[in-house]
Amino acid sequence: MSHEVIDEIVEKLSKLSVLDMAKLKDALEQKWGVKAAVASAAPAGGAAPAAAASESTEFKVTLEGPVPDDKKIAIIKAVREITGLGLKEAKDMVEGAPKELKASSPKAEADEIAKKLQAAGAKVTLTGL
């Protein structure tokens, strides 16, 4: 394959949206009968984490601990609103942090959950799946 053809393919792939990239990855996995893996080596400048996060369409939302005592009530209220848990279950979850709040959420939902919890004073981690 010539260098020009490779450059053309790279240029076309660079113009794809994240959703289209995910569809392409799935199609190639089916066609070739393989499972794609994310490279763990970070290029110079540390661009790999940002690229990996932008490619993820689903995120795990984790409440980090320990929770500050003066913010605990607000965080419990936020957890109840997000999860639909009862008061005791939400309190146990907050006091037992770090705890997973959502195993899988679309990016927009995960960002909204993180904003609510951060506004209440909690530390939140979003992990791309």
Q: Look at residue 47 and tell me whether its pLDDT is greater than 50.
A: no
- Identify the structural domains of the chain with CATH numbers, from first to last: 3-46 (no CATH), 56-128 (3.30.1390.10)
pTM for the model stands at 0.56
| 52-96 pLDDT, tens digit each | 444 678 889 999 988 888 999 999 999 999 888 899 999 999 999
Main-chain phi, psi angles of 124, to 5 degrees: -130, 145
Q: What is the mean pLDDT of residues 107-113?
A: 89
Torsion of CA 110, 12, 5, 50, to 10 degrees: -30
d(CA 82, CA 2): 53
Give phi and psi for 86, each to the nearest 5. -75, 170
Q: What span, in angstroms and rounded, lies between the C-alpha atoms of 22 and 47?
A: 19
pLDDT value of residue 40: 39
Q: Which residue has the higher pLDDT, 42 or 59?
A: 59
What is the rounded CA–CA span in Å between residue 93 and residue 101? 9
